Homo-oligomer: A and B are copies of this chain.
Amino acid sequence: MSVADGAVRRSRAVAGEALRREAIEAAAELLVSAGPQALTMRRVATAIGASTTVLYTVFGGKDGVADALYREGFERLRARLEAVVAADPLVRLHELAHAYRRSALTDRSFYAVMFERAVPGYEPGPESLEVARASLAVLVDAVRDAMAAGLLGGDDPEPVARLLHAAAHGAVSLEISGHLEGEGALRCFRELTAAAFAASARPAAR
């Protein structure tokens, strides 16, 4: 319990953190390039030139890897949403919706980990769900701006953001599940998000 001990513990911790990042990136690469099926402990281990044992000390098990990918996926989604810029709040909201769809269709395997249960045993705990929720803060902010500008009704942006999310998510989910074909998928997405916007614009009408 000396100073050196603390330093050692810290150095090991940062080494472990570097290894953790490396493993997460390898796992993400595997996930994206070969799908959730290819995400095995052995493959991740060999991808970082290590054995499976270290993955168990760092992640605890496959659930830990899945959890890291879950958060990584929402982190990437947040980056994509934050990249959306538009002066008009309503335009921004529309573009956020389309960014959400694009993100899901592009990173299908990540989406599968995040919203389908692509890693058999795993389901996110409360903390990971909170991370997921926080990554949609951009959406909440945009709704707040639109409310402040008088473009959306109401004063609590959270439930409205959830409604918009559910709208976008519903169309995207059906599209990914194969129930909507290319042309109709985009139209369904547009119509449903527009419907959610319209409903949010006049909350007294519900």
Residues of A with Cβ closer than 8 Å to B? 36-37, 112, 114-118, 120-121, 123-124, 129, 132-133, 159, 162-163, 165-171, 173-174, 177-180, 184, 187-188, 191-192, 194-196, 198-200, 205-206
Contact = CB atoms under 8 A, between A and B. Distances in A.
B167 A169 contact: no
Contact of A162 (B37, B129, B180): B180
Contacts of A200: 195
Contact of A133 (B124, B133, B166, B179): B179
A147 to B, nearest CB: 16
A171 to B, nearest CB: 5
Nearest to A164: B192
Contacts of A133: 179
B159 A166 contact: no
Contact of A159 (B132, B179, B187): B187
